Structures are given as C-alpha cells and as structure tokens.
Amino acid sequence: MTPTQRAAALRLAATLDSRMSADPEGDEEAAALLRELAAEPVQEATPADKAVYSAIAENYAAPQQRKPLTDEEIWRSDAIMECNANIGAHMNELMRLIRAVEQAHGIKETK
C-alpha cells in the first residue's frame, strides 16, 4: 500500500466511524478492514516501476500539439462539407471560420 492509499483508507475509516448508518455493524467491519489495510507496510516503487511512471508522465502529462487541417483534409471531410451545405457559406468564408475555430482551440502551425 502506498502512502496515498494508506491516507485514503484511514480517511474512509474515519468517515465510516463518524456517520450514522442503518448498518453500524457493517460500517465498523468496513472501518476495521480499512485500518487493517492501512497497517500493511508501505511498498516503495522499484526502479522498473519508476521507469514506467516516468514513461507514462512523458507521454500523457503533456498533450500532443495538434496541427491545423490541411486544405485537402477540409475538402475531404464529409462532416465539414455537410455543415457548409446547411450554412451555405462561400468556401473562403468557410476556411476563415475553420482557421478561427482552430486558433480558438490553440491549434496552430508549428514550424
């Protein structure tokens, strides 16, 4: 059990102890089990675990930079063309709208 898990288990046990319940015996049993789990020795992360955590952090902590759609991708997009059929915008207006939406979402050309 990690220190974070231990703290969570103890908070849950304290919550179970402090609340009114229709099943106080079951609450006491659950609180006792949480305290038993919290008494388990803390397991330190192994070097392999640390490498995995580091890889996860590198790949998922920072979102990948998204790129604007190319003109060809816009033309090939049935969804965009269907929306434009409903709006009836000229293509240059549609392109300006698409670029404005991309910019509003932080999507920009990287050089």
Domain extents in the chain: 3-60, 71-104
pTM of the model: 0.43
66-98 tens-digit pLDDT: 899 999 999 999 999 998 998 888 989 999 999
Taking the C-alpha atoms of residue 10 and residue 18, their distance in angstroms, rounded to an integer, is 12
